[in-house]
A and B are shown apart, each in its own frame.
Chain A
């Protein structure tokens, strides 16, 4: 747990932040958001002593950070910045092992940890270990940046617009992966962004800042339903209902999907699914292959002859995608339900338009 008490920071005459009282709870993602120049980066940099506050006290697990040696403190806190800042002259493995090497880990332990981290961020260590940053795509570089910050297994992670420099599609994938990783590692994360969708999607706790002050500090749901003042209302915009869908993952709101094996014959299954003519088709391992409309299918043929193929990763989403991703894909493709598949493309369930509507109705009643 990180606590900031009565923090003030002046640059000469200029007041960067003032009267800052905030707690970043253990094992949660706290997102700070606000217009540029609102003091969010300054706030972040004070936590690892890269900026020294003019007044006030910062504690980590009730210990005053001024009691630590700045360099030692920074080695125990993961740090990711917008332009990633990978060292261009070091290979991926050397980039990841910067902090472990500063801490003088054994070579064997470093190698093991590097492989483990690459796997955690979803990159094949055989391919990536010896690559150099100039050979990586933006998304890959960002994953390496996260792996590097996690290298020495710090309990705290500071992230300053980590996904700011990648394209929107990659950003969404990275956010989803980031949530999956956080589910496993449970770090105390302070995350800075200026992208409200990103903030709402990731935050356990959302802090909105303006002119060096905290305007509202609450759960994203509370901020969306009870904005404190006009500034917050303007800031979160009019599509609050849609934004709330960002908080909900497909995994938590999917239903069982009706599906058949591609090897079955149409006439054998048609009576069984009389009420559900529209079915997903999988192979014997459960991998999504396509869909079939029994009303239009030739009863004498097998399912695989009559189905419409789905290319992998086009008409499907992962369990970690938000309901808004699901909704936007359904509207984009003009369909009423969308299949949820895992990494191996096995069918897990489906999300339907009606299902999303129910969720929204239920939320509005609360």
Chain B
């Protein structure tokens, strides 16, 4: 498995070696700009995929899964020190640096707002669905229906009602709510993020052993107390797993939200596609993939931390 990460180094080292800093004489004879072809990007993504598939299969420790981040950090530092100055991607990045960080921040902000809001609403509706079975079927019907609508369609659907709303109540416009932009994007993103969280909250509560629940009631716990001190603590690992799914999903969907002017790294992807500039596309893709991996790992860590001691699997 570590060979796959080692593949990282081969092509990139070659690029770095022929760079001015290392072999100025040699580089003079080559093209001034190096633009890796699709095969190399393919190799890069394949090694990342291979590493994660392998890490899950082999159940390697959390520290080891951090290894690719170490490699990524090394590469970023190399970029900073100018080792890749002739790489077309780096040249593109230098030109649009300011824009890049703006969109990166926007992407992260949308992710966080979506995840936090959807977690609060999702857990609430999940508990509601579990406690009131009739409401539950309605909640699931709605959440499932939303999930079935393609993201772009959902973004567009929201434009019209929001436009009408802001036309009628102009003060909403002062709050930054418009037919296009962040407001419809957030609404759609939150609606998307709800289903995994509701479903996992419901599943987490349903997984609580009936005899445990009965013991709680029999000892004089009220419904609310039972929920807070028995059902939720036992269900929390499953709930966090749902939030993780939603978060990773949101990072991907935000890419499309660019199309209704909500910002985010998708901007570079769509610009790159319309201008047939692969470097621009890759400049958007790499940070999105890294954000998704960071979110996934971070939430896994959170899940482990929030799992009560008595429910943790014994480490062998």
Contacts and interface: CB of A to CB of B under 8 A. Distances in A.
Contacts of B215: 79, 81, 84-87
Given A132-B309, A133-B310, A134-B310, A88 B212 contact: yes
A102 B233 contact: no
Contact of B211 (A85, A91, A149): A85
Interface of A: 48, 50, 71-76, 79, 81-91, 98-99, 102, 132-134, 148-149, 158
A81 B218 contact: yes
Contacts of A102: 219-221, 225
Interface in B220-267: 220-222, 225, 230, 233-234
A89 B222 CA distance: 18
A75 B309 contact: no
Contacts of A83: 209, 211
Interface residues of B, number: 21
Nearest to A165: B211
Contact of B220 (A72, A81, A87, A90): A72
Contacts of B218: 48, 50, 74, 79, 81, 85, 158
Interface of B: 209, 211-222, 225, 230, 233-234, 308-311
A89 B310 contact: yes
A100 to B, nearest CB: 11
23 contacts: A71-B222, A75-B219, A76-B220, A79-B218, A81-B211, A81-B218, A83-B209, A85-B215, A86-B215, A87-B230, A89-B230, A89-B234, A89-B311, A91-B309, A99-B220, A102-B219, A102-B225, A132-B309, A133-B310, A134-B310, A134-B311, A148-B219, A149-B219
Contacts of A76: 220
B311 A75 contact: no
A91 B310 contact: yes
A71 B221 contact: yes
A123 B72 CA distance: 54
Contacts of B230: 87, 89
Top 9 nearest A-B pairs (CB, nearest first) are A85-B215, A132-B310, A75-B220, A89-B308, A74-B220, A79-B218, A83-B211, A85-B211, A71-B220
A91 B312 CA distance: 13
Contacts of B222: 71
Contacts of A75: 219-220
A102 B216 CA distance: 11
A102 B225 CA distance: 9
A81 B219 contact: no
Contacts of B216: 85, 87, 98
Nearest to B208: A88
A68 B230 CA distance: 24
Nearest to B232: A89
B211 A84 contact: yes
Contacts of A86: 212, 215
A98 B218 CA distance: 11
Given A71-B222, A133-B310, A134-B310, A89 B217 contact: no
A79 B219 contact: yes
Nearest to A102: B220
A148 B209 CA distance: 18
Contact of A74 (B209, B217, B308): B217
